[in-house]
Amino acid sequence: MAAMRHARLLCALVVCGCVGAESSSANNSGGTLAISTGGDPDVLIPSLVQSVVGAQITDMIYDRLADIGDSLNILSDKGFVPRLSDHWTWSADSLSIAFHINPNAKWHDGLPVRSTDVQFTVASTKDTLLGSPATSLITNIDSVSAPDSLTAVYWFHARSPQQFYDAVYQLPIMPEHVWKSIPPAGWRASDAAKNPVGSSQYRFVRWIPRVAVELAADTVNYRGAPKLSRLIWSIAPDFPTALTRLLSGETDLLEQLRPGDVPEVAKHPELRTKQNHALQYSFTQFNLRDPVNHARPHPIFGNRQLRRALTMATDRVALVRSVYDSLALPALGPTVRAYSTTDPNLPQIPFDLPRARQILDSLGWRLTTSDSVRSRNGRPLEFTLSVPNSSKIRIQFAVLLQEQFRQAGVKVDVEQLDYPVFLEKERKRAFDAAIGQWSTQPSPGAVRGSWGTAGSRAASGNNFGSYENPVFDATVDSAVSSFDPAARKALLTKAYETIIQDAPAIWLAEPIQTVGYHSRLQLTTLRADAWWAHIPEWSIPADKRIPRDKAPPSASPSTPPALPAGQKTP
């Protein structure tokens, strides 16, 4: 085995010999971070990006005016860190915020960042022709004015506790001079989308579809050069292939290890794992409306008591332990523990199988002596549980739930679906029950879209189970508009308690993100909403560098892109 490893190393060294002399940097900056990832980014335009890998890459290329702190506070501007804006001032009535742009900030093509870039970013994101998912998140921003080249003033429709968050978090700033001549409908297909020009600490080098995306350190960045010289996302659509790349040393980091992978990683002394709470939770969602006739309640799940009985029949602690081992906690509700507003002791419907059986009996769903499935008026208590076949975790949950419900006399048919088909069924509300997962934003207000009445009634809203409760809606609305953190937390707790007791879903798991990485990497904090946020601060000590860390930045095939015709570097 060792001989094989040496043979491979020798081969790599022979190939390296073709490079020519490598420069070895003695200082602290340098090194390459190769990230195993499962697919190409969807697009490298921050206002259009949807995929996680796309967000990782655009966040490295583009800067916001200010960045959210590790505490994920979204009230006022507390905890936010200056980025393109080195300071900001609030108006007396709080209906506008003036962001003062760092005069040293430059785009990667050499032009300075100006307030008109900020103005352009907001205006283009609000343009429905662009189709940005951020549009619905910045409705409180009326407009942006640019009184001078280094001041951008955001004007809001109304005071809101999270108006600063809305202004900076959703909108990485884009260069007006690159995009203004391209019609919004043509952005995705434009050359500019394939050669993004940003202002952050890494600049774009290349994107070879289905192979890799590469960024290089911007050594003259206004925030200083990042510690790692190169970032590479190495693409492998097959998860075992992506994992094997980490295990074999071809890559340095895999962002989401599955429970079964952790022991395998532990066998490699050169690999480490690091965990952090993520903004994700999974659930078994009941469809409260009839899948065929949406005007009618679902014949089984329309009944609140029955949903509570099914929740009682579910041993969530055992489920989570079986599926995730220690890499997840039972979900608390439609929220995550990383929110400071989430009470970790939210009361839950307890696991109580005898009580669940009693409730089902009382509702008329009874077991006959000859059958193992309950029935009422000749109708058996059975339903279909849909899961996407791409998720091994959700399939495991489905099988375990099937067994737990069987013990309560409920028959479940597990239906594994191709992911687009799964989504289509959810969107058309054509399912009985489905195992879903939401990745949320730092704002707890996101719960309105996925569990609120508005999300239920909109033709393609995301409250697929059609849960509606005006008390829940009103309490969340009050919480989101409250400026007092204590009142906000109390109101959200009340809202969560309401929805937990209504049981529109069985809250399954809150995964703990487990990153596998090479021990030569020195990681800092993994932020809950974006583990990659602090990559510019990560480093590789000079004495631990391997050949790929030493590829000289000067050998980078991409020089900064040429300026557009007629423009000069100031």
Partner 1 sequence: MLRYIAQRLAQAAVIVAIVATITFALIHLAPGDPFSAVMDNPNVSETVRQTLRAQYGLDRPLPEQFVRYVSLLAHGELGWSFSHERPVREVLGSALPNTLVLMGVALVGSFVFGILIALFQVSRRGSVTDHVLSGLSLFFFSMPDFWLATLALLTFAYWLPIFPVGGAVDPVMHEYWGLGGRIVDRLYHLALPALTLMLLASAVVARYQRAALLDVLPADYIRTARLKGLTEPEILRRHALRNALLPIITLVGLSFPALLTGAFFVEKIFAWPGMGYAVVLAIGTRDYPLVVGGVIIGSIMVTLGSLLSDVLYALADPRLRSR
Using CB under 8 A as the binding rule, the residues of this chain from 485 to 514 that contact partner 1 are none
Token code pair at residue 154: 């955001």
- Choose which of 57, 271, 401, 446 interacts with partner 1 (CB under 8 A): 446
Provide the minimum distance between the beta carbon of 203 and partner 1 in the complex, in angstroms, as a whole number. 16
Provide the minimum distance between the beta carbon of 261 and partner 1 in the complex, in angstroms, as a whole number. 13
- Choose which of 10, 129, 220, 266 interacts with partner 1 (CB under 8 A): 129
Token code pair at residue 170: 């959703």
Q: Is 123 near partner 1 (CB under 8 A)?
A: no
Q: Is 560 near partner 1 (CB under 8 A)?
A: no
Cα dist from 348 to 97, 172, 497, whole Å: 41, 39, 8
Query: How many other CB atoms are there within 10 angstroms of residue 439's CB atom?
Result: 12
- Choose which of 459, 486, 562, 565 interacts with partner 1 (CB under 8 A): 459
Q: Is 51 near partner 1 (CB under 8 A)?
A: yes
End-to-end CA distance of the chain: 58
Provide the minimum distance between the beta carbon of 33 and partner 1 in the complex, in angstroms, as a whole number. 10
Residue 134 half-sphere exposure toward CB, CA atoms < 13 A: 26
Q: Is 389 near partner 1 (CB under 8 A)?
A: no
Q: Is 23 near partner 1 (CB under 8 A)?
A: no
Provide the minimum distance between the beta carbon of 213 and partner 1 in the complex, in angstroms, as a whole number. 9
Sign (positive or negative) of CA dihedral 420, 425, 429, 432: negative
> Closer to partner 1 at the Cβ: 421 or 490?
421
- The footprint of partner 1 on residues 149-208 (CB under 8 A) is 185, 188-189, 193-194, 206, 208
Cα dist from 13 to 20, 43, 459, whole Å: 11, 35, 59
- Choose which of 419, 454, 519, 569 interacts with partner 1 (CB under 8 A): 419
Distance CA 100, CA 565 (A): 29
**Which residues neighbour 567 within 8 Å (Cβ) at sequence distance 6 or greater?**
111, 177
* Residues composing the chain: 570
Q: Is 17 near partner 1 (CB under 8 A)?
A: yes
At 504, the amino acid letter reads P
The window from 313-321, 331-339, 423-431, 528-536 that contacts partner 1 (CB under 8 A) reads 423-431
The window from 131-139, 149-157, 307-315, 391-399 that contacts partner 1 (CB under 8 A) reads 131-139
Provide the minimum distance between the beta carbon of 557 and partner 1 in the complex, in angstroms, as a whole number. 5
> Closer to partner 1 at the Cβ: 71 or 248?
248
- Choose which of 166, 214, 432, 502 interacts with partner 1 (CB under 8 A): 214
Helices (H), 336-452: 353-362, 392-407, 419-427, 447-451
**Which residues neighbour 189 within 8 Å (Cβ) at sequence distance 6 or greater?**
none
CA dihedral 431, 435, 439, 444 (to 10 degrees): 80
Residue 100 half-sphere exposure toward CB, CA atoms < 13 A: 5
Q: Is 131 near partner 1 (CB under 8 A)?
A: yes
Residue 216 half-sphere exposure toward CB, CA atoms < 13 A: 15
- The footprint of partner 1 on residues 248-307 (CB under 8 A) is 248, 250
> Closer to partner 1 at the Cβ: 29 or 275?
29
- Choose which of 137, 152, 215, 385 interacts with partner 1 (CB under 8 A): 137
Asked whether the beta carbons of 385 and 433 are under 8 A apart, the reply is: yes
- Choose which of 103, 133, 347, 564 interacts with partner 1 (CB under 8 A): 133
Per-residue contact string for residues 234-253; x = within reach of partner 1 by CB under 8 A: xxxxx-xx--xx-xx-x---
Burial (CB < 10 A; 0-12, 13-18, 19+), residue 269, is exposed
Provide the minimum distance between the beta carbon of 12 and partner 1 in the complex, in angstroms, as a whole number. 8
> Closer to partner 1 at the Cβ: 114 or 425?
425
> Closer to partner 1 at the Cβ: 188 or 534?
188
At 436, the amino acid letter reads G
Beta strands in 4-140 (DSSP E): 32-37, 66-67, 81-82, 85-90, 96-101
- The footprint of partner 1 on residues 534-553 (CB under 8 A) is 547-548, 551
Q: Is 128 near partner 1 (CB under 8 A)?
A: yes
Residues in contact with partner 1, counted by CB under 8 A, come to a total of 77
Provide the minimum distance between the beta carbon of 328 and partner 1 in the complex, in angstroms, as a whole number. 21
- The footprint of partner 1 on residues 347-386 (CB under 8 A) is none
- The footprint of partner 1 on residues 460-479 (CB under 8 A) is 460, 462
Q: Which residues of 360-382 are buried (b: 16+ CB within 10 A; e: fewer)?
A: beeeebebeeeeeebbeeeeebe
Q: Is 11 near partner 1 (CB under 8 A)?
A: yes
> Closer to partner 1 at the Cβ: 410 or 479?
479
> Closer to partner 1 at the Cβ: 291 or 449?
449
Residue with tokens 């292939």: 241
